[in-house]
Chains A and B, each alone.
Chain A
Amino acid sequence: MDNKLSLELKHISKTFPGVKALNDVSFSAQPGKVCGIVGVNGAGKSTLMNILGGIHQPDEGGEIFINGEKVVIADPKASTELGVAFIQQEVQAFDTMNVYENILAADLNKWRKKHSLALDRAAMKKEAQVHLDALDSHIDVDAPVYTLTVGDKQIIQIARALSQGGRILLFDEPTSSLSDHEVAMLFGVVRRLKEQGYIIFYISHFLDEIFELCDNVVILRDGQLVDQAEISDINKEQLVEMMLGYQIEGNTHSREHAQDEVIFKAEHISGEKLPRDFSFELHKGEILGVWGLLGSGRSELFNTILGIDKMMDGKLFFKQDGELKEITQKDFYKHIGYLTEGRHYDGLFLNMPICQNITSSDLDQFAAKGTGILNPAKEHVESRKLIEQVGVKTPDENVKVSKLSGGNQQKVIVAKWFLKDPEILFMDEPTKGVDVGAKNEIKELIFDKAEKGTSFVVISSELEEIMSLCDRIIVIYEGRLVGEVQKADFSKESLMKGIVSQEDKDAE
């Protein structure tokens, strides 16, 4: 790799109608270093990436230098040609095709045999192998991609970026769907690339990852560069404060969860694959955590109980008229809210206004009995109230949800379920892809609601979060209940105990 590889941004601003997304941002990156980019949602990270990717043009006066030369990144193609490559959060792959086809998908023309339409597959495999070797990966080039793990698919994305001549690599939240083991593998790859002299940017909400992997960090807030600091010069508290512009107060809620009233009971729940024979109880006003590793059947447990996936066996009991009675899934759904893991996939109506998103959970509140005629004025009033209550940052309730930042979108979903005000709220990763500030706010909202008597069942893969949020945690492993830990005994060890003993059993 040539030595003169460099990237420098000077006075980059970007104005959208009504918003200054970036304001005079300048920084540079050196090869052989991993540069973290952090900031809360809406700080300008995505805009910065879109400018480097050629999707947006910076305002007049902003300059980008690559290898010392001033460049204009007019479109995504120009960006690729300049050696800029993105490794996305959501893995983009052609699942039914082979590994080598995926790696070389971008420029198949190059691999055509002379005077023929056929592809030179032998040469393609060789080339793909070169890139995989460079990443020290043992993935078989012939394997169909659907047989691979998410982590391996991530590696293929990186190999694809390299095959296109990528030398400035931008990792955008690459670990959000990876297991611990896969994260470690990915970090190994990133370090290897760093040694080979690539310029690497690493965007993540997980600050621990920034401290583990990055050499320096660019901090953005409200479109402005707060600082570009050497990672060794700062600590986590300082970083959070620079991102937010204020200090986070410690958790003010010292909840005494003392209600013994069982409001819901699941017995012997089994799905088609996962979960298996899973039973638990939920108390009124309790925040119950469900903890397990990726693939342990956490989300499947929710989907099976709520009838999104097929329930093969099991019974649900719900407290009605002071008595715990068996209830059908359909009737149970009327009493619950379900915040899913995939915000865009099944959480929001992206092209509809905030207002109609919020009211979608319980239209009956706004419809005349019998005729079903809606009262839009009431919809607007109620959704404005909720927007204020959960703190969605928006000019008004008519804005399309797709225009909001990730954290604000998540708050819209919270607002949507608060509107219905169900007895039980199921939440699958309620703070996934949300910045530290919004994370805290969502947690506070959950505490408030629980104090008023709503029960929560929460999945989170972040240990710290689930331990600070929940009153009690049940542990799931391969779809089975393997442990239950009370608040007083929360620790990583106590949660892992159930899993470890189960793994030992499996080993025998």
Chain B
Amino acid sequence: MSEKLKRFTSNNKQLLIMLGVIAVVFIILSLTVPNFSTARNLTNLLQQIAPIAVMACGATYVLVIGGMDISNPAVMAASAVVGVYYMTTGGGNLVLGTILIVLTGTFLGLINGFAIAKLKMVPMVVTLSMMTIGTGLATILSGTRGLPILPASFSNVLNKTVVIIILLVVMIVMDFILTGTKFGRKLYYIGNNARTARISGIDSENITMFTYAISGMCAGIAGVINTASIATARANMGPQSQILDIISAAVIGGVSPNGGSGRVRDAVLGAVLIVGLNNVMNLLAVSDYYTTLIKGGIIIGAMGLASYRQQQAAKRGV
């Protein structure tokens, strides 16, 4: 029994640490910050976490293969605007419109993947370009006056509870695919050593392409969630700085920026921490200027700690 427990702790170290940190922070905040532990604030918090967390799931896949996708927030906004444009100005069906949002994200991600895997372009350059393309597309379609408001039924169906369920489903499914299936294992192989993966007969090209498409799909799903919460779509709903929240959620969750390791569920917990931080500073009425400063400091500190722990582990293991 104790042997089993030991195995479980060593396999799920990151999860336990994250849960511990979140629990401690939660308790401190409930005791010290007024209004923090109210049901209203907590559901609000979960709703804010959801889009970042969903995109962090996609970012985890990309980081695991040793890649980088900074186009996520822009792709999210572009997909949402395309879908809402179809549903309002185009007079389209709400269900089809929702699907269109996810498909647009997937398609833009696929373009990223094609350029990176087949044309052998540098991920940073490709996704940086996609970031401006996405923002451009969203700005053009939403026009100067912005898109009209969606019928109330849209936000009623995709209410807070549904959003949280979407997040949980995305997390569980993606975590399982990554750790329990052939496809997921291949991502780890590629991130660990792409050359060895190729020699081992793994079709790195197509898998890399799909990975970026999945990242785009996650941006699409996040687009649906964000659309539901503001009942329309705007070009500025995915500020470019949001990519920092997404990537650092994954990295704080233990996903290696060098590729080859990490789990989706831990990245989601990372998103809980990062977005929670925003929320707390909001409640404490910290000025926006200081918020970015403090957040940057905490992210660097947390990543530094993670990196230090890795080095120590490597040293001990020699």
Chain A positions near chain B (C-beta within 8 angstroms): 16-17, 56, 308, 333-334, 338, 340, 345-352, 356, 360-364, 366-367, 371-374, 400, 403, 416
Q: List 30 A-B contacts (CB under 8 A).
A: A16-B318, A56-B318, A308-B198, A334-B201, A338-B199, A345-B195, A346-B195, A348-B193, A349-B189, A349-B192, A349-B197, A350-B192, A350-B193, A351-B192, A351-B260, A351-B261, A352-B188, A352-B192, A352-B260, A356-B185, A360-B196, A361-B201, A363-B186, A366-B182, A367-B181, A367-B182, A374-B181, A374-B182, A400-B317, A416-B200
Q: How large is the interface on B (under 10, 10 to 19, 20 to 34, 35 or more residues)?
A: 20 to 34
B26 shortest CB reach to chain A, Å: 33
B187-232 interface with A by 8 A CB criterion: 188-189, 192-193, 195-202
B 165-189 binary contact with A (CB < 8 Å = 1; else 0): 0000000000000001111011011
Q: Which residues of B contact A308 (CB under 8 A)?
A: 198-199
Contacts of B316 in A (CB 8 A): 17
**Are the C-beta atoms of B185 and A374 separated by less than 8 Å?**
yes
List the 9 closest pairs (A to B, CB-CB), nearest first: A346-B195, A372-B182, A349-B192, A367-B182, A372-B181, A360-B200, A346-B199, A346-B196, A363-B182
Q: Which residues of B contact A17 (CB under 8 A)?
A: 316
A351-B202 Cα distance, complex, nearest whole Å:
18
Mark interface residues in B115-130 (1 if CB within 8 Å of A CB, else 0): 0000000000000000
Write the chain A residue with the least CB distance to B188. Answer: A352
Closest to B259 in A: A351
Give the complex CA separation of A348 and B201 in angstroms: 13
Q: A352-B188, A403-B317 are in contact. Are A347 and B181 (CB under 8 A)?
A: no
- The residue in chain B whose Cβ has the minimal distance to the Cβ of A346 is B195
B192 and A361: CB pair below 8 A? no
Q: Provided the pairs A350-B192, A403-B317 are in contact, do residues A360 and B181 lie with their beta carbons within 8 angstroms?
A: no
Q: Which residue of B lies closest to A361 (CB)?
A: B200
Chain B binding surface SS class: helix
Residue of B nearest to A403 (CB): B317
Mark B residues whose CB is within 8 Å of A: 180-183, 185-186, 188-189, 192-193, 195-202, 260-261, 316-318
How close is B61's CB to chain A, nearest CB, in angstroms? 15
Instruction: Please report the C-alpha to C-alpha distance between residue A374 and residue B185 in the assembled complex, in whole angstroms.
Output: 9
The reply to whether B196 and A347 contact each other, CB–CB distance below 8 Å, is yes
Given A333-B201, A360-B202, also A373-B181 (CB < 8 A):
yes
> Chain B's nearest CB lies how many Å from the CB of A368?
9
With beta carbons under 8 angstroms apart, the residue of B180, B182, B197, B261 that contacts A364 is B182
**Which chain A residue lies CB-closest to B261?**
A351
Cα(A334)–Cα(B201), bound, Å: 7
Tell whether A348 pairs with B181 under 8 Å between CB atoms, given A16-B318, A360-B202, A363-B186. Answer: no
Q: Give every chain B residue within 8 A of A351 (Cβ-Cβ).
A: 192, 260-261
Most chain B beta-carbon neighbours within 10 Å: one of A338, A345, A372: A372
Contacts A340-B199, A416-B200 given; does A360 touch B189 at CB 8 Å:
yes
Q: How far is the CA of A348 from the CA of B199 in the complex (A)?
A: 10
Give Cα distance in the complex from A416 to B199, angstroms.
Answer: 12
CB pair A363 B185 closer than 8 Å = yes
Identity of the chain B residue whose Cβ is nearest the Cβ of A330 in the assembled complex: B203
Given the complex, which residues of B lie within 8 Å of A364, measured CB to CB? 182
15 further A-B contacts with Cβ under 8 Å, apart from A346-B196, A361-B200, A374-B185, are: A17-B316, A338-B199, A346-B199, A352-B188, A352-B192, A352-B260, A356-B189, A360-B202, A361-B201, A364-B182, A372-B182, A373-B180, A373-B181, A403-B317, A416-B200
